[in-house]
Structure 1
Amino acid sequence: MAREQDTILVVEDDPTIARLLEIHLGKTGYNVLLATRGQEALTICRTTPPDLIVLDVRLPDISGYEVGMALRSAPDTQNIPIVVLTAFGERANRLNAHNLVRADYFLGKPFDIEELSSVIRNQLSSGRRRGQFHPVTNLPTGELVNTQLRELLTSSGWIMALIRINGFEHFTQHYGVVVGEDVLKFTALLLCDIVEQRGDHDDFVGQLVVGPYFVIISMPDRIQAITSEMTRRFTADVKLYYDYQDLQLGRAPAMNLLVATVSDQDGTFADIRELTAAAEARLA
């Protein structure tokens, strides 16, 4: 049986399939929400984030891919497991599910309802385990980061630094994903080391699920020392990941850290989406 609080959002415009899933998943013990359009699904996810989404590719307003990409780009929905339903044998759909949506699983239509139930059960279980820590750096991510950010909404005397590796996408295109992951690991270790030296045991270091973004939560009197040392050491040490000849000839895609801070002195924030958006705006 499902846990009482497990909520499944079914995004499906075919009323017969939607009703079938609602009845079957409801009997299994899930709380089932239905959306027949992509925009409706996004609205539901912003107000009541589900534990898992069953997402049809073909919707009457926007595609399932657009829905998935929007969910992956928002901090409060980016870690929700997504099971994509697509026409059986459509290779392009399966590739888009992987590449655009980063779907956790996909099933071809027509699908077996018992198989879908098994997939949902397994994805909920594995999603809870892997959603706690970033798969590359092992830093807190997903809901662990969101929990820290929510605490800031009702606290005082805090400051949050949002850090982005500028030029990371160009670097990975040039050197490959594996070397890019090495840079992420290096950055995570660097941040943790500096926070340990210059910060306090109460300070928090985490990583967003999507993109080369990191978060540090500290106190205003410590953040300047942390971020200054962080940017200095990153610029000096990240050169180890470049090809020597590329550096000598000046053709290496340069990376540096961009840092933006937001604190309780910037006013009140309605939710973590508003908080992170304020920080992202200052990165530009």
Structure 2
Amino acid sequence: MLVVDDDPDVARFVEVNLRSAGYAVTIAPDGEAALQLALELQPELVLLDVMMPRLDGFEVAQRLRGDPRTSSTSIIMLTAKALSADKVLGLSSGADDYIIKPFDPLELLARVKGTLRRAREMRALSPLTGLPGNIRIQEELRRRIAYEKPFALLYADLNHFKAYNDHYGFVRGDRVIQLLGRLTAEIVHEKEGPAGFVGHVGGDDFIMVLAPEAAEEAAAELCRRFDERRPLLYDPIDADRGYVEVEDRKGTPVRSPLLSLAVGVASTRNRRFTHVGEAVAVATEMKQHAKRRPGSAYSADRRSG
């Protein structure tokens, strides 16, 4: 962590309390030093005093946010002012939170922990869909395997998505991915409620985790709902004729079928998984089987062992 304050007593007070909680801390005496140290150290959090000579905290926060190398760094403003205008200015400059001096050590630690927790949660989410990404997916599957909880893993992705992107562009392609994210979340919520889990692996790949007895029904429902909404993703002429025209690598026009969905289902109903990679491998294998079927389809692993 980086503590930025031109008052050495305040900086030392913050440092001692953070170190006592187990955090590594570096002190910067002014804004210019803070910017340099932020680039060198890449701290997870900067605690930044507002009132400093030459370069105040608002300007430092804006520069940190404006530099791609430090734009994701969490910032807490330290201010001696309780004026709402200063709070607004601090937050609009890019701060994640603020603390008014003099502050209680317990409040300091609580705000630090809260800011770090929110930042870590945000980094674990897909920016496109807002769904948990690979970090949370791995954690969820490891947890279920470790506690030997029965579960099914559904792995879904789109067929012919590259051709769709080539024809319509990435903006419309992103809308397709967002639609698929909403559909997976809806179905898991309906089938499992808070006990279920949905994750965005990346691109057009999604996973759903729910009870084994609900898995195949959920997979079939996902295919049905996607097919139901598919015509809305296309221009009428393409939807009516059932394909889009794109060029292959040689520049030759080819016809690509409309989007469809492939879902692979791996379950603990007939087997036990010992690690995440094993469950994902089975679901991926089943997804490849589903891709060989016409249109949107799912394939479930019913082998034992």
TM, length-normalised to structure 2: 0.51
CA–CA distance in structure 2, aligned partners of residues 240 and 251 of structure 1? 14
Partners of 1:201 and 1:247 in 2: CA distance: 36
Aligned to 1:136, what secondary structure does the other structure show?
Answer: coil
Residues of 2 paired with 1:187 and 1:259: CA distance? 12
Q: Which has the larger radius of gyration?
A: 2
Which AA in structure 1 matches 2:136?
A: L
**Is 1:117 aligned to 2:41, yes or no?**
yes
Alignment root-mean-square deviation, CA = 2.8
* Equivalent residue, structure 2, for 1:17: none
Among 185, 193, 205, the residue aligned to 2:186: 193
Q: How far apart, in 1, do the equivalents of 2:149 and 2:24 lie? A: 40
1:242 aligns to what? 234
The answer to whether 1:149 aligns with 2:149 is no
- Consecutive unaligned residues in structure 1, runs of 5 or more: 3-27, 31-111
Q: Which residue of 1 aligns with 2:283?
A: 279
Following the alignment from structure 1 to structure 2, what is the Cα–Cα distance between the partners of residues 131 and 233?
30
Partner secondary structure for residue 217 of structure 1:
strand
Change (3 A) 1:142 1:236: same
Residue 225 of structure 1 deviates from its aligned partner by 1.8
**Structure 1, residues 134-176: CA drift from partner, whole Å, max 9, x if none?**
1111111122111111112222321111111222222111111
Counterparts of 2:168 and 2:209 in 1: how far apart (Å)?
31
Give the secondary-structure state (helix, strand or coil) at the position aligned to 1:135. coil
Go from structure 1 to structure 2 and tell me whether the alpha carbon gap of 1:196 and 1:268 turns closer, same or farther (over 3 Å shift): closer
Number of residue pairs aligned between Structure 1 and Structure 2 = 177
Q: Per the alignment, in what secondary structure is the counterpart of residue 134 of structure 1? A: coil
Cα distance between partner residues in 1 of 2:24 and 2:72:
13
- Equivalent positions of 1:92-111 (< 5 A) are none
Could you tell me whether the CA contact under 8 Å between 2:134 and 2:199 is conserved in 1?
no
Please give the per-residue CA displacement for 1:214-260, whole angstroms capped at 9, x wherever unaligned.
11111111112211111011012122011111122333341111111
TM-superposed CA distance for 1:128, in Å, is 3.2
| Alpha-carbon distance in structure 1 between the residues aligned to 2:285 and 2:237 | 36
Q: Which has the higher contact order (CA 8 A, sep 6+)?
A: 1
Which blocks of at least 5 consecutive residues in structure 2 are unaligned? Answer: 3-22, 26-35, 46-69, 75-118, 245-255, 289-305
C-alpha distance in 2 between matches for 1:159 and 1:184: 22
The aligned amino acid for 2:192 is G
- Tell me how far apart the structure 1 counterparts of residues 260 and 189 of structure 2 sit (CA, whole Å): 22
2-structure distance, mates of 1:222, 1:268? 18
In 2 relative to 1, CA 120–183 (structure 1 residues): closer, same or farther, beyond 3 Å? same
SS at match of 1:161: strand
